[in-house]
Structure 1
């Protein structure tokens, strides 16, 4: 029974994807609309800087701020993870 359901789900997903691809028409993107005034294109360096480097820098800044401004210190932790519970071995 599981094989039948998997096959049915796969066919449904494939059919839905095919219909979405057929309904979208990227060829119409070449036709200019009235009032369409695109700006100048980006170079490869500008594109990489905008979509790769800038998010990585932003991620690094946020990570650094979280690490620097973190108020939870292990020395101030009063839970049992900070207490030495081993018994002293006296001979």
Structure 2
């Protein structure tokens, strides 16, 4: 989990999740926040939403993703494409 990005995490998620769910969720949160720092395309924002959906499958994942979405709305109020994707995410994720 020390490597940057999510490739290793996603590759071994099925094996790691039962014992290390809190650590994996923390890694996802850290990585997705770093990814969001750069202004992106709608496609990149959609990828962020896919990662948030994965995060919701973890214990406490709903609370963590809700906090991230709230933070992004405060931090990035001028990113209309991101806000649109956040609206869709919230609509479909409850």
Query: What range describes the TM-score normalised by the shorter chain of this pair?
Result: under 0.3
Structure with the larger helix share = 2
Give TM-score scaled by structure 2 length. 0.22
TM-score using structure 1 length: 0.22
